[in-house]
Amino acid sequence: MIEFITHLSPGIWVALVILTFIGLVSQMSLYNKAGQPAISALVPVWNVMVFCKVVGRPVKHSLFLILPGVVIMVIFAAYYGEFDSHFPTYDPVSGEQIPGHGTIGDLAVPLSIIGASLIPIIAFMVLMFIEVCDSFGKHSTTDKILCIVFNGFYVLFALGVSQAVYEAPWWRKKRGLPYYIPDLKHKGKKILVTPEGPITGDPREQKVSTQIVDEAVADMYDADIAAKEHITSVPGADKKKKEDKPKKTVAEKKESVAKKSEDKVLAKEEKKPATSEASKIEDKSKAKSEAKKETKSNPPKEKGSSKGNDGLEKMANGRVSLDSVKDRYKKSDPRPKSDAPNWKDELKEKYKKKK
């Protein structure tokens, strides 16, 4: 059997790789939209358990797929010789294909057991694909037939990559049981939905009550228990997971940068050693000597300065207001007012005389 598989044409291998890739990507996109870990699609048993959660079925329903699969694997391993005898072999010298020597009677027992095991697998998978379509809002019969026939292709392009939204785990919603759905507005949160009763007509007319709960609640408690006991958070859970904060504006960023720079400056000043008393005395003596030098270079003004200068000095020191200084100048102005005519008037008179 292994020799036959290794001699398959490259085209068949390429087709198998493409189909496997589409199946894995479709499952990962489907689980991601339903709020489940996408990496679970790569683990054989875990992917079936997560698939049951997506449609709302209990995890124990995954045994309808796991147990028949285990039976098929055991039967195949027990009757491997009989299966291998039906596959052709290749002559190492000539490279020609030699047909197998097995008979159909040798495979009667294993094929009957495998056929019986495939019945629950096929029936359960059909139900699961129908419930997946309902969970994503695809309630038409055409969508359900396409999902069953094309399987991974439909799941990938019609549900995973498309704009289809995960509405609810249909198996629980149909029966009126509480269920979780992902909260797209808040990270680390889920919405606990509690229907008032099972679906009797249009699914959109079903009355429900919603409650936002922590993601840890959905991981630790079943939806029935959380809805019955009104559990919204887990005591002792990590409190660091908070809602997304709005982005900081430019002004807020500048303020934060300024605060950080101020903190750095204060930290540097605190690290500096305290000045001793001797250094303080030296600083005072230096200041006194600098003051003496300034007085020598800029001596004080002599007495006999005019009243105007005294007023300006006082005004500079803040003792006299500007209005009082102006009044003093008006009173002490010794210049006589001239009664001579203005030059404009003289020009006007000359012009009149010429005329």
DSSP line for 126-182: HHHHHHHHHHTT--SHHHHHHHHHHTHHHIIIIIISSS------HHHHHTT--EEEE
Question: In this model, does residue 306 exceed pLDDT 50?
Answer: no
- pLDDT-based confidence at 293, cuts 50/70/90? low
- pLDDT-based confidence at 324, cuts 50/70/90? low
Q: Which of 70-84, 184-198, 211-225, 327-341 has the lowest mean pLDDT?
A: 327-341
**Helix, strand, or coil here: 220?**
helix
Question: In this model, does residue 33 exceed pLDDT 80?
Answer: yes
Q: Which token pair is 219?
A: 């991981």
- pLDDT-based confidence at 19, cuts 50/70/90? confident
More confident residue, 37 or 266: 37
Q: For residues 79 and 174, what is the distance between their CA atoms, to the nearest angstrom?
A: 43
Q: Under 8 Å CB-to-CB from 41, ≥6 apart: which residues?
A: 24, 27, 28, 31, 47, 50
For residue 240, what pLDDT is reported? Answer: 47
More confident residue, 290 or 201: 201
pLDDT in tens, 266-290: 776 665 554 555 555 666 667 667 7
pLDDT in tens, 116-138: 999 999 999 999 999 999 998 88
Q: For residues 246 and 298, what is the distance between their CA atoms, to the nearest angstrom?
A: 62
Q: Which of 64-73, 76-85, 101-110, 254-263 has the lowest mean pLDDT?
A: 254-263
pLDDT in tens, 171-185: 999 999 999 988 888
Q: What is the mean pLDDT of residues 322-329?
A: 55
**Helix, strand, or coil here: 137?**
coil
For residue 243, what pLDDT is reported? Answer: 46
Question: In this model, does residue 310 exceed pLDDT 60?
Answer: no
Beta bridge partners of 211: 192
C-alpha to C-alpha distances, 204 to 94, 163, 194, nearest whole angstrom: 69, 19, 14
C-beta of residue 83 within 8 angstroms of C-beta of residue 1: yes
Task: State the average pLDDT for the chain.
Answer: 77
Q: For residues 188 and 310, what is the distance between their CA atoms, to the nearest angstrom?
A: 78
More confident residue, 67 or 344: 67
Q: For residues 279 and 285, what is the distance between their CA atoms, to the nearest angstrom?
A: 10
Question: In this model, does residue 25 exceed pLDDT 50?
Answer: yes
Q: What is the mean pLDDT of residues 158-179?
A: 86
For residue 321, what pLDDT is reported? Answer: 54
Q: Under 8 Å CB-to-CB from 137, ≥6 apart: which residues?
A: 164, 165, 167
Q: Which of 39-43, 248-252, 320-324 has the lowest mean pLDDT?
A: 320-324
> Pairing between strand 189-195 and 208-214?
antiparallel
Q: What is the pTM of this model?
A: 0.60
Closest CA to 178 of 227, 135, 132, 139: 227
Q: Which token pair is 321?
A: 């207001």
